[in-house]
Amino acid sequence: MLEQVANSVIDIRGIERTIRESKIEKRWSVEEIVGLFEMPFSDLIHQAQTVHREHFDPNAVQVSTLLSIKTGGCSEDCGYCPQAARYHTEVEAEPLMPLDEVLSAARAAKENGASRFCMGAAWRSPKQRDLEPVLKMIAEVKAMGLETCATLGMLKDGQAEQLKDAGLDYYNHNLDTAPEFYGDVITTRTYQDRLDTLDRVRDADINVCCGGIIGMGESRNQRAGLLAQLANMERPPESVPINLLTQVEGTPLHGTDELDPFEFVRTIAAARITMPKSYVRLSAGRQSMHEGIQALCFIAGANSIFYGEKLLTTGNPEAETDKKLFAKLGIHPA
Ligand code: SAM
Ligand code: DTB
Ligand code: SF4
């Protein structure tokens, strides 16, 4: 009997070792992630910072610059988005930006110190005639020595391969929230549609950039649910943008109760712990965030930001403000 118990202890140790040594990532239950959120703040930040230091230079933050290459007039009903045609916001629809304007924005981003240039389009899904000029943009931005990223909506079979061939390094497509809350925010595409696009991106060997939005009125359980979806992917995304809802007048989510800033920091920490090797991006919402909270996010493991005074249609801190913040914190851009 004793021998049996001893053998099963050895077995369990063996399994643990196999998990550690192989590529099998730990699966996270929503309850476990809620458990992280419930930790005393100091303990949570310490754990996140410890995990962060095992995989990254704690003083390096990756910087990406965003450009809206096709703005507004979107057919979708994402409740947070000022670019949806059906909501009355101040955003005016604009056609696809000409190549030379995109390239001059990319050149300026590079001169300002960005290492990645992310092109966003307010499409449900690009048509082939939309994709072709974007392929040219990607090839030329890549030729400038910048990493390339695009976010163009849902992809159909074959489109991810065309993007890869053009030189695309990352594709951004967010899950946005937990499956249970998703239907409260978007009805014109399903959660599964998003997962299908993410599979196409993975299969084409493009790095996955996938995260969500916090502060849309979701529960803590649902914040943990979003992280569980991301962390339990066969391969977690290389880049995980965590956006704080930017409330825009005219959108259905305008007027949602503001999230406690410490809850946002906790979300960053839980993302870092559950996805130790991913870049966690402190994304939308920085303009209204005190620099002390941003510093806590970096300590909690955020190691990427959007850099430059505009996101897609809303504001972001001035590049000079971010340079000063990095200098105060001893952070170097990567
Ligand atoms: N139209 C494409 C799509 O939806 O996939 C690409 C662009 S879309 C604007 C990219 C992402 O930006 C959304 O999935 C959402 O996570 C984020 N986003 C949009 N509006 C936001 C807002 N008001 N606050 C925070 N994040 C927002
Ligand atoms: C992401 O997760 N956040 C960025 C990027 N991916 C495309 C977009 C934030 C948009 C904020 C609202 C706006 O500026 O329109
Ligand atoms: Fe359109 Fe993208 Fe905005 Fe949704 S998030 S309304 S798909 S631009």
> Is ligand 3 within 6 A of the CB of residue 81?
yes
**pLDDT (0 to 100) of residue 223:** 98
pTM, whole model, 2 decimals? 0.93
Of all protein residues, whose CA lies closest to atom 2 belonging to ligand 2?
Answer: 241
> Is ligand 1 within 6 A of the CB of residue 194?
no
**pLDDT (0 to 100) of residue 150:** 98
Report the residue count for the chain: 334
- The CA distance from 124 to 152, in Å, is 8
Neighbouring C-beta atoms of residue 300, cutoff 10 Å: 27
- Copy the structure tokens of residue 308: 């430059």
- The CA distance from 19 to 11, in Å, is 12
Pick from 68, 76, 210 the residue to mutate for probing ligand 3's pocket: most ligand atoms within 8 Å of its CB. Answer: 76
Among all bound ligands, the one having the nearest atom to the CA of 170 is: 2
- The CA distance from 89 to 105, in Å, is 25
**pLDDT (0 to 100) of residue 3:** 52
**pLDDT (0 to 100) of residue 26:** 85
Place of tokens 């910072």: 49
> Is ligand 1 within 6 A of the CB of residue 226?
no
**pLDDT (0 to 100) of residue 205:** 98
Of all protein residues, whose CA lies closest to atom 1 belonging to ligand 1?
Answer: 122
Specify whether the CB–CB gap between 58 and 331 falls below 8 A: no
**pLDDT (0 to 100) of residue 185:** 98
**pLDDT (0 to 100) of residue 1:** 47
- The CA distance from 254 to 291, in Å, is 24
- The CA distance from 290 to 102, in Å, is 31
> Is ligand 1 within 6 A of the CB of residue 213?
yes
116, 200, 223, 281: the catalytic one is 281
Q: Is 118 a catalytic residue?
A: yes
**pLDDT (0 to 100) of residue 2:** 47
Specify whether the CB–CB gap between 286 and 294 falls below 8 A: yes
Q: How far is the CA of 153 from the centre of ligand 3 (A)?
A: 8
Per-residue pLDDT of the chain (334 residues; tens, 9 = 90+): 445 545 554 455 555 555 555 556 789 999 999 999 999 999 999 999 999 999 999 999 999 999 999 999 999 999 999 999 999 999 999 999 999 999 999 999 999 999 999 999 999 999 999 999 999 999 999 999 999 999 999 999 999 999 999 999 999 999 999 999 999 999 999 999 999 999 999 999 999 999 999 999 999 999 999 999 999 999 999 999 999 999 999 999 999 999 999 999 999 999 999 999 999 999 999 999 999 999 999 999 999 999 999 999 999 999 999 999 999 999 999 9
Q: How far is the CA of 17 from the centre of ligand 1 (A)?
A: 40
**pLDDT (0 to 100) of residue 14:** 54
Pocket of ligand 2 (CB under 6 A): 66, 82, 120, 151, 172, 174, 211, 241, 243, 246, 283-284, 311-314
Q: Is 74 a catalytic residue?
A: yes
Among all bound ligands, the one having the nearest atom to the CA of 210 is: 2
Q: Is 210 a catalytic residue?
A: no
> Is ligand 3 within 6 A of the CB of residue 152?
no
Pick from 63, 66, 253, 286 the residue to mutate for probing ligand 2's pocket: most ligand atoms within 8 Å of its CB. Answer: 66
